[in-house]
Structure 1
Amino acid sequence: MTSSWVPGPELAWQLHAECPDACILFQSVREEAGALLDFQWRALNPAAEVWVRGLGLSPALSAWGGVLEGLPEHGLLGEVVETGAPLSFELRSRLGGVERWYRARALKRDDGFSLWLSDITDIQAERQLLREALAQERAARAREEHLRLALETARMVTWEWTEARHSLVWSPNAEDFFGHRPGNTLECLLEEVYPGERARVAEAFVEGQCAESPFTFQFRGPRTNGTQRCFEVVGQSHREEGRPTRMLGVVVDCTERERVQAALREAEERYRLVSWATNDVLWDWNPNGEYIHWGESSRAVFGYASEEMGGISWLRQQLHPEDREMVLRTLEHVVQSGGESWMAEYRFRRKDGTYVHVLDRGLVARDAQRQTVRVIGSMMDITERKRAVERMQEEAQFRERFIGILGHDLRSPLNAIMLSARQLRRRSTLSPVQLAQRIEASAERMGKMISDILDLTRARLSGGIPLHLSPTSLPALCRQVVEELSVAHPGRDISVEAEGEGEGIWDPDRLAQVVSNLVGNALEHGEGEGPIRVRCRGETELRVLEISNRGTPIPNHLLATLFDPFRQGGSSRSGRSSGLGLGLFIVRELVEAHGGQVSVRSTEKEGTTFSVLLPSDARPFAREGSTLSEEAHTG
């Protein structure tokens, strides 16, 4: 040590070995200018020596902070030295693996201080026990208060039944709950129940005593003010050696809950009836989640049970690919932009895989912060309405085109007839034979147009073309038509091939019209010198007819509408069309009237082929008004 300082005579007794408290004498450590730097101990009594060595404390007080908790700052201890005012505090350490507490007191001694330490670990333990007991008491009181408030808020009371007393003990709020203080027996409880329900309640109470799990039952009872209340009893039986000794539970006033549930059931029933009455599919979606609630009419409209229909991801998959982006984009825009309503028309996939047109309308519900909380809407199947509108548009277009035909196409051959007649009267340079041929050709062309228009009218306005069915040979019919066309087109290579069964029940005149139109189409649009092949073959109950020709293929963009009325598959070899664009439409109508199908494929390599599939017997498919020959009846 750098100082020879020793305690004065007045401290000699205090530092004696028999002193129970630890005492440590500290002297100030200062710089040359006198500023306080630290404190170092200079003397220890025996109790302090054991304590210091046990903790491994160094002489410098500044090094004690890492070992002791609660040590004051040097500035506070410096004030003890400067002013002489004592300083009291508590320290905590771990000596020998045991936590110890000390009451410390610093007293001025010359240019330092004496530090007295008293072990108060036992006192601190008693304090901790007292604090814990007080905390438990406060927690118990808080729980009691919370229970009281919960019982009052939830409109319920607690009860306890014991086998020893055969009595009920109620919570303090029972009088407010029932409107009077209930008795402490089961019979008193039954007085709160309507007479008609007392036997059931008594039986339920006895069954609850024997139950090993929580039990519940309800009863109705009158209040003192004459109103009817609904109560629910929930209890748990406690058993000892197999016998019920105690029951605990609550009684809940569920009148409002029952009223709300009844109103909810009524609203749900009203919702269900409205959904059925409108035949719309109602839906309810929370944009913050995936789930969508679907109405019960979904089965009738779309074929799905409501539980089979999923959330927004499932809905996305049912939208037609061409409509999907538009629907989701507009719905998201309304939700995000603060809109109040949404509407869209799109195609929706039914359970059977077909698409229907729907009109979907939704209303957006928002909270006070204008955040979307739900979107409620309805989906209406407008497929038939849309078809009706399309039919109206088609009919309007048909009438417009029909009037154009009457005003233009039919006028051309009529003008040719009138011009030829005038020239004949004026002794034209043309011979009478040439004029007669011109008149005959124009009249024939005009007659074909009229026949086509009549067939169009029957197909579009009369529900289909009637048939006159009789046994017919498809190969023989094809040969007859080809022979007639070969006379009108000498030099053209038209062949007929037949394979397998070719007999059937059809309308021979209408079937000849099909063959004539298809072969005539090949003659007009096919390669000038190229062959035309007519093939017939039998396949079990089907008959197949194919007409093929070489030439420029039909453009792909025309194939989809080739069989529509007033359509042309392309220019003829002469550069102009000689018809109204009804030939292929009439072919399709005649084939479908027989229960068959017609299709076309056209490529640069293979040319153009029209394929007709016919059932061997058209009788099941003939429209009302069709006739059958006696021979067909017999067959």
Structure 2
Amino acid sequence: MTSSRVPGPELAWQLHAECPDPCVLFQAVRDEAGALLDFQWTALNPAAEALVHGLGLGPALSAWRGGLKGLPERGALGRLVDTGAPLSFEVQGRVDGAERWYRARVLRRGDGFSLWLSDITDVSVERRALREELEQERAARAREEHLRLALETAQMVTWEWSEARLTLVWSHNAEAFFGHPPGGPGDTMEGFLERVNPSERTRVAEAFLQGLCAEGPYTFQFRGPCADGTERCFEVVGQTFREEGRPTRMLGVVMDCTGRERAQAALREAEERYRLVSWATNDVVWDWNPSGEHIHWGESCLTVLGYASEEMGGISWWEQQLHPDDRELVLSSLGHVLQSGGESWAAEYRFRRKDGMYVHVLDRGLVTRDAQGRTLRMIGSMMDITERKRAVERMQEEAQFRERFIGILGHDLRNPLNAITLSARQLRRRGAMSPVQQQLAQRIETSAARMGNMISDILDLTRARLSGGIPLHLSPTSLPAVCRQVVEELTVAHPGREILVQAEGGGEGIWDPERLAQVVSNLVSNALEHGEREGPVFVRCRDEAERQVLEISNPGEPIPSHLLTTLFDPFRQVGAARSGRGSGLGLGLFIVRELVEAHGGQVTVRSTEHEGTTFTVVLPRDARGAARDVGGALPEEAHTG
């Protein structure tokens, strides 16, 4: 026993007898207050002395951490001394240049502990080798899984043929790929050929024989029937490997090219149809190789443009015939298609005829490219659309005239309508009228009010279409207050119907209160007319950051999906109202959208069987910026601070 402080004879004998493996006794090193500072060994048996010398360790345990990896922290060893609970762990160190692993056991001895070390290097090496073997096995399985997924994603299978076995080996997905029953495509060339279309078996067998002699990759196609009675097209890509000049092995893949073949056949059919159509029309057909100047022009150029085909020049001549105002845009779009790999091009522009007049043409072309994406050819047709353009312009002028007429008519109708309303109101105030007369006067006033709403809708439509937007008069507004006011008015007009208002947050913003009331009124009236008569209508307001959200929903049958895209268009109606009173003109939702967008907001709708129909309006907290954008009037800005 070697020790820096030699223990008693009994302890030395015990270390020799009980610790054939390296054993070290450590004593706690404490300060005057008894706080643990470190541990220092006090005794070593011969095996431990050789180990400490081999590792170059000092007496302090804190210095051992550089030579032995895996030692517990000082606090864990301090707890062992305090509690007596033993510790077990593994450490690693380099002894005489070789990595060694030890199983360490620590037991308390007085104000210290004994550290026993058992060499487990051989076991650790075996475990590490086993782990590496398992990792390699997992990596191989992962590669197999990746290959399986790649083959399934790419819609292909792999195959291998060897001269030694004279068999075909397919990847695991071959049965599903070929659509065959159990047994797949077979493990012999003869069995595989039975899966090939009978009319192609001889050709496919010859293709395999030619592949044996080929230098480098080779490819061929074949057709084969499937179990469901359909026929699919396959493409084989393979390569032959040789030893001493003799073919010994073939590897390859089979890809399903049925979709590609169908697409190519459809393209050929479309090209033939296009060629026949060009013969039957007066379109000017052209054919251009972008790498050169020349353009081949069809025979229709004389009829359409006044030029004989030999008078039509190349690409530079065509550029000069473009209208100066259109030239830059047309050339830019054509260049973008050619350089970006696009397949088609279309442009409308003005082209100069032989007589010097410009005609409007619609020019369309298809781009043909090689396997590297280089442009080989561009074929297209030029159609004279001058008369169509003129017809569209006339239609636009007529539409503008009609809208102006409607606007003027709606404005001038107000005067006689106001007279009718005032007269009916005066008659009702006379006490001498009979109940029947009172009812007739009430009906006149109600009908006049409805007609007034229609005129207001017509005027809003005219403003939206002709004036660039509906003007707003903005001021500080409470959306919940507007909703409650509208709901009170509608509740009087619809007795027995339940309209619930829910508000979350203050709902304050800079808006046009009259126009917001019009939005709420139109949406709630729409819900009352088209929702279930027994079901309630919900009006919800809530704050969201810098936005205000308004939702109006009702139960009932959903709006058909094909009507949702045009629901906010003018003169559109979903169907007959359940209340029997339609809006008449179908302008309510159109005006709602125009008013919301004039505020810089957005309105959307969702309608399902389970949730019913919900219109959602999202408004910015301050609509002044949006109103300026559409040219709206802001006479109330002085009151907004």
TM-score > 0.5, shorter chain as reference: no
TM-score, length-normalised on structure 2? 0.43
Instruction: State TM-score, norm by structure 1.
Output: 0.44
Structure number with larger C-alpha Rg: 1
